[in-house]
Structure 1
Amino acid sequence: MPRSSTAVDHGRPRIRRRTSAAVGTVLVTGTLLASGAAAHAASWSSPAAPAHSRPHQPVMRKLTPEVRDRLDRALRDVLTTTRTPGVTVGLWAPGKGSYVRTLGTADKATKAPMSPGFNMRVGSVTKTFTVTALLRLVDDRRVDLDDPISRYVSGVPNGHRITLRHLAEMRSGLFNYLLDPGYGKAYMADPRRVFSPHEMLAYSFKHPAGFPAGSRFEYSNTNTVLLAMVVQKVTGRPFDDYVARHVLKPAHLDHTFMPAGPEFPAPHAHGYTDQTADGSLQDATDRTPPGGPSGAMISNLRDLRSWASVLTGGSLLSPATQAERMKFEPTGEPGLSYGLGIFANHGWLGHNGSLPGYQTVVIRLPEAGATLVIHTTSDVASQGKGPGTKFANAVTRIVTPGNVYDIPAPHPARS
């Protein structure tokens, strides 16, 4: 990818003072509903307990042989109880050590082992890149977070009252197109189909806005599709090209990209899902990831380790814009809050992702300088929670007992 010729102005961006919003009571995730089977195809978000409220203990335990043995046992237990075919876990912290493990199989047919070098589908971690692309334009003074979406995209329900900020922080009130039965039916009829942004929005816009913009939190993939359309309209470039030049290239992420369809370069693991017409377990490796700029990206362990630091540290953004990104608002769930395309989960900052066959968690605990990346080859729920959440919970219970990652079981969905 050629280097961008556009310099980012890191001066003071055009950001207006925000108004306070009422707090929502429920944090939900998107679902695919097809032939009576609930199919989770989005991820879910996140606040941090204040440091003074946590028990007095080290922020993070050193990764001694004893702690590594505990982690090994915990991961094997989750792998067994969730029946997840394979998992990769990477944990790094200055002065505490590093821990990288792969367990299970990358292909149930051949029994090939997992590898930390695999390309993986990362689901809604994609949203962190999409919102970063928008925020680069904020720094360029080409958009303002408090611009209404109607300035850029026509036909959005209540679009004159919904701002780019509302979209990025999941407080727009727009219907999540993944929840529309027509979308679920069309996707399950042809899982390799590529839906255009306008097709995705058409499924959403059949429904009125669910609540006044800014009044509460509700996770919706529609929001990020709209933000990608804004980026494309303002820049005059294809969205994936802008992200590659202005986000991935300056972040030095050489193995991260937005696929056009179901392509999935080797080496990669196979992913398995029960998001099928009859609820049976199937190989979902060659499906087109639903969501486009909300959930389609591919990356690997090394890139996501780097991205966690870039995302939470704000090295691609001006300090003022990064400060706006990191204004976490309550979601209605204890310990979980959401900023601009980033969550805070009991002190851990980042995002998770889920789509048929795969789940990913990419989080960083700034207080300890620790980064945790998890890939699973299944999205099948166990006791109401996705395997990504289960593995992240098991790891953090051991190494950061004062900051235990968790996402309560959502209402119909699973991550």
Structure 2
Amino acid sequence: MGLAVCVALLFTAACSANSTRESTGSAPTATTPSASPALRTIDPAALQAAVDETTSELLVPGAMVVLRTPQGDFTSVTGTTLRGAESPPSADTYFRIASNTKTMTAAVIVLLAQEGKLRFTDPVSRYVPGVPNGENITIAELLTMRSGLYNYTDAPELAATLDADPTKAWTPQEVLAIAFRHPPDFPPGTEFAYCNTNYALLGLVAEKIDGTSLARIFQERLFGPQRLHQVMLPAIDSTSIPDPYSHGYMYGGSAFALSDFPYPPAMQAAARAGTLEPIDYTNQNPSYATAAGGAIATATDLATWIRALVEGRVFSADHQRQWLDSAQPEDPTKPDGQQYGYGISRQRFGPTASMYYHGGELPGFNSFIGHDPDNNVTLVIWTNLTLSLDGDHTANVLLLKVLDQIYPGLALAPPAAPTPTTR
């Protein structure tokens, strides 16, 4: 499941975008200072054209791009939050952020370590009983996706239940029971594999130590101190999103997002012909993803959050360094490739361009949040169509087009098989 979309950016064919379609987005708030050598001078019209063209090609109903650079703040909007209506998104439109929630769950764990309430080397069995091989799986291995535990969102029975009963309220124990019925994928610490089971466990660790709900922990430890008023973790029985919000759409059943199954050719043809409409997944209960991907937010607050996280406003100096240094190559044979650490990815995609980032995907929504501390660039993208008919993660495709507007000399192409956020 796309609870966490990994964005491996490859140096192949350069991305470019030109469009004659009329923009439906808003103008930037500032454009006057010239770009640094590492950045292009942002052209608002070209940025908007790239967003319009890309979303049109992908059949995305609506999308939002929030870009903050030393040149100013830029907002590109396209489409609608509700199919069949003229309801353009805004930077303050709520949407389901999916695996971007992991940046928050990991931040809580780092804060608990900072306070001496846990150690990254602690076994998970110290806090959560019944975890297979839990005495040999550390908190750090959960954070960095190296536990080897089976990923519960890969289980066919989860997708089947979601489609049969989309409002079902899930407890962490229920989704962990699904994971624990399957054998581990590899011994702890020996490989990387994106796994939502890890973060379901980390949510329970946080609740065990702080003695309260994860929603309250987020509010007291993160959202309040960082003045984030448009981020929340909904109650287990909640299927609603605060106004103003975007609906979220996807073709076919939940398994296409949860397990990354390709769309059959007949389904693709019917959708392109207009005889198959996407399903509205807005009110599917996200409690199966709570600590791994259940939060709701706006692009405005996510931009504030990812910058605060990367620039050191959440942790002490020592634990900020540990958090930054936690990012290690997902593939040891590709030391310059995508890295994953304590709830954060890092990738260098040009000589002067790199970002700490995360992605988010679940039925109905796809998103990206990132910050480049070297060039003071913050970027948030969300779309309200999970996957294109070709199986591409829509926010990832849009990301590549937007990066080409920000940095000179990039040659970017999406990976053949990106790792979904919900998986």
TM range (shorter): 0.7 to 0.9
For 1:16-415, what aligned pairs fall within 5 Å after superposition? 31=1, 41-45=2-6, 58-63=37-42, 67-94=43-70, 96-260=71-235, 261-276=238-253, 281-289=278-286, 290-327=288-325, 328-332=327-331, 335-346=337-348, 347-401=354-408, 408-410=415-417
1:7 maps to which residue? none
Paired with 2:285 and 2:195, the residues of 1 have a C-alpha distance of 19
For residues 344-372 of structure 1, what are the alpha-carbon distances to aligned partners after superposition, in whole Å with 9 as ceiling and x for unaligned?
Answer: 13311121101111111110111110000
CA distance in 2, matches of 1:86, 1:389: 15
Pair 1:367–1:157, CA change in 2 (3 A): same
Alpha-carbon offset, residue 174 of structure 1: 0.7
Name the % identity. 30
Q: 1:413 to 1:299 in 2, by over 3 A?
A: closer
- What root-mean-square deviation, in Å, do the aligned CA atoms of Structure 1 and Structure 2 show? 2.2
- Structure 2 residues not aligned, in runs of 5+: 11-35, 255-263, 268-275, 349-353
Output the CA distance in 2 between the equivalents of 1:386 and 1:45. 10
Q: Distance in 1 between matches of 2:217 and 2:419?
A: 35
Aligned letter for 1:319?
A
Whether the aligned pair in 2 keeps the contact of 1:47 and 1:338 (CA below 8 Å) is no
* 8 Å Cα contact 1:88-1:116 kept in structure 2: yes
Deviation at 1:275, TM superposition (A): 4.0
Does the C-alpha gap of structure 1 residues 414 and 218 become closer, same or farther in structure 2, counting only changes over 3 Å? Answer: closer
Paired letter, 1:84: V
* TM-score, scaled relative to structure 1: 0.83
Whether the 8 Å contact between 1:312 and 1:350 is mirrored in structure 2 is: no
Structure 2 counterpart of 1:230, which letter?
A: V
Q: Distance in 1 between matches of 2:101 and 2:155?
A: 21
- Deviation of 1:113 after TM superposition, in Å, equals 2.0
> What's the CA shift string for 1:56-82, capped at 9, x where partnerless?
x9321122xxx2222122111101110
Q: Which runs of 5+ in 1 are unaligned?
A: 1-30, 32-40, 50-56
In the TM superposition, residue 412 of structure 1 has moved relative to its aligned partner by: 8.5
Structure 2 counterpart of 1:189, which letter? A
Distance 1:384 1:239 in 2: 33
Query: What is the DSSP-based 3-state SS (H/G/I as helix, E as strand, rest coil) of the residue aligned with 2:120?
Result: coil
The 1:315/1:202 distance shift into structure 2, 3 A limit, reads same
CA–CA separation in structure 1 for the residues paired with 2:178 and 2:109: 24
Paired residue total: 365
Deviations 1:332-391 (A, max 9, x none): 266311111000133111211011111111101111100001111110235442110011
- Over 3 Å counting, the alpha-carbon distance change for 1:314 and 1:303 in structure 2 is same
Q: Compute the displacement of 1:83 (Å).
A: 0.5
TM-score by length of 2: 0.82
